[in-house]
């Protein structure tokens, strides 16, 4: 899919909603269709003229790419960057899978040709010092290595250096099935029936992945469907730790790049406030920022995309966007207490309920009825009052959800 099309798909809140109410039991057809700015149905296109397996590797961000679980047990280098591209790892084609402003991605293998990998070279920016560049790459590598015990996080094999430059490359296994957004778009385009249970079970995997990170003091900061790869068994693998922060090293890690990072439609509202304060020359206290809450907000938005194939708003920015009335009203009218939230959920369960003064609620009505309250809690405007991954996983909603991981890839058209 073209980068511009993928961006529109993620940001657009103009959609054709599915026929039938998602609050009913059983399965329904995954039919929401995103519209472009002209109001025309959007289709997913490919931007790299290579094999179907390789085109699945192209991402809207240079650090998002796909891999395949043909990985053997390779030992990482004693020192990150000790191995060399062209000697220890080689590219399998002269043409990259993806070439963006921040990185370039090649399909590759180890020198013996026994393992297929993805070689993600992080581009050295003119504004960076050698020390900052190396720290950024090694931060991503270290945070990934810290999470390798989880089956829901992508493996990272090594950091290798270029032969003729300071640039470093992350070596990642190659997954055949692409990312979750690829699947969601295919289901939509082919009108594949996806059960409500499978949609919720898919989201549950995503919550479990983020929960593992949070329990190990890692905040991801760029949670979205295309950052979840899919292995041969249909299990999701959280990828792209380029913005991740080790919360035991908050000041050291978070100061390496902008605080207000991530993908706009998944960014929490407080990030735009932090951005304004930085632009005004104010110094932020990084230790007071709730980085885990940023991931929780993103998960709340992600659920809309998994369940309905659109996001509820293009941005949560009310700081510099005074025309963002939908988000402004959502924040102003957010329930004052848990009691008020429960009362609102009861109203949402009433098919005749509508609130023209809070248009975002019309999207919440389309969610699975068991999910509405929990997603509202995830999307609390106050980061300190948002729910946690733990409370989501302990909820009656997600504890009762189960599906075979293969069910996801078995739905793909043969």
Delimit the domains of the chain by residue range: 89-173, 178-411
Phi–psi pair at 177, nearest 5 degrees: -90, 5
Q: What is the mean pLDDT of the chain?
A: 82
Query: CATH number of the domain at 178-411, please?
Result: 1.10.510.10
Query: What are the tokens at 35?
Result: 């519209």
Tell me what pLDDT residue 256 has: 64
Residues 6+ apart with CB under 8 A from 108: 89, 90, 91, 92, 116, 117, 118, 119, 171
Distance CA 411, CA 244 (A): 32
HSE toward the beta carbon, residue 48, CA cutoff 13 A: 21
Radius of gyration (C-alpha) of the chain in whole angstroms:
21
Beta bridge partners, 171, equal 119, 158
Given CATH 3.40.50.2020, say whether it is the number of domain 89-173. no
Q: What is the pTM of this model?
A: 0.81
Residues 6+ apart with CB under 8 A from 397: 200, 368, 370, 371, 374
Query: What are the tokens at 37?
Result: 């700015």
Query: What are the tokens at 288?
Result: 């007071």
Distance CA 272, CA 279 (A): 11
331's enclosing H/E stretch is: helix 325-332
Distance CA 116, CA 233 (A): 18
Tell me what pLDDT residue 175 has: 87
Tell me what pLDDT residue 157 has: 92
Tell me what pLDDT residue 79 has: 63
Give the angle 368-183-13 at the CA atoms, nearest 5°. Answer: 55
Nearest to 168 by CA among 84, 89, 86, 109: 84
Tell me what pLDDT residue 66 has: 32
Residues 6+ apart with CB under 8 A from 245: 143, 218, 219, 221, 253, 254, 291
Q: How do residues 331-356 score in pLDDT, each as one tens digit?
A: 999 999 999 999 999 999 998 999 99
E strand residue ranges, 297-402: none
Positions in the chain whose pLDDT score sits under 50: 1-78
Tell me what pLDDT residue 250 has: 84
The length of the chain in residues reads 414
Q: How do residues 209-267 score in pLDDT, each as one tens digit?
A: 999 999 999 999 999 999 999 999 999 999 999 899 999 998 877 776 678 888 999 99
């Amino acid at each position: 899919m073209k980068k511009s099309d993928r961006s529109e798909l993620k940001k657009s809140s103009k959609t054709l909603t599915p026929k039938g109410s998602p609050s009913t039991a059983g399965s329904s057809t995954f039919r929401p269709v995103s519209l472009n700015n002209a109001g025309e149905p959007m289709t997913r296109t490919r931007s790299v003229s290579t094999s179907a397996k390789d085109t699945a590797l192209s991402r809207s961000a240079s650090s998002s790419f796909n891999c395949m679980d043909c990985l053997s047990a390779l030992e990482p280098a004693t020192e990150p960057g000790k191995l060399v591209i062209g000697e220890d790892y080689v590219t399998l084609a002269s043409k990259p899978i993806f070439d963006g402003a921040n990185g370039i991605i090649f399909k590759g293998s180890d020198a013996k040709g026994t393992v297929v990998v993805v070689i993600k070279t992080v581009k050295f920016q003119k504004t960076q010092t050698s020390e900052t560049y190396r720290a950024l790459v090694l931060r991503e590598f270290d945070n990934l290595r810290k999470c390798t015990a989880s089956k829901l996080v992508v493996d990272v094999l090594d950091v290798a250096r270029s032969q003729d430059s300071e640039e470093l490359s992350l070596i990642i296994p190659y997954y055949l099935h692409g990312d979750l957004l690829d699947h969601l778009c295919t289901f939509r385009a082919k009108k594949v029936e996806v059960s409500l249970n499978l949609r919720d079970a898919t989201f549950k995997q995503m919550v479990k992945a983020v929960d593992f990170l949070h329990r190990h003091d890692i905040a991801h900061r760029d949670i979205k469907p295309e950052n979840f790869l899919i292995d041969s068994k249909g299990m999701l693998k959280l990828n792209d730790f380029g913005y991740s922060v080790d919360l035991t090293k908050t000041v050291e890690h978070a100061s390496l790049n902008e605080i207000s990072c991530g993908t706009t439609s998944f960014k929490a509202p407080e990030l735009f406030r932090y951005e304004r304060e930085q632009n005004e020359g104010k110094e932020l206290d990084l230790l007071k920022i709730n980085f885990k809450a940023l991931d929780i907000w993103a998960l709340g938005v992600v659920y809309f995309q998994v369940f309905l194939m659109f996001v509820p708003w293009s941005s949560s920015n009310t700081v510099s966007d005074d025309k963002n009335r939908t988000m402004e009203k959502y924040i102003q009218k957010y329930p004052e207490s848990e009691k008020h939230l429960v009362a609102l959920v009861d109203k949402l369960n009433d098919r005749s309920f509508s609130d023209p003064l809070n248009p975002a609620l019309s999207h919440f009505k389309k969610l699975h009825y068991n999910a509405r309250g929990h997603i509202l809690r995830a999307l609390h405007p106050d980061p300190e009052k948002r729910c946690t991954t733990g409370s989501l996983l302990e909820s009656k909603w997600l504890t009762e959800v189960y599906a075979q991981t293969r069910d996801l890839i078995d739905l793909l058209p043969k």
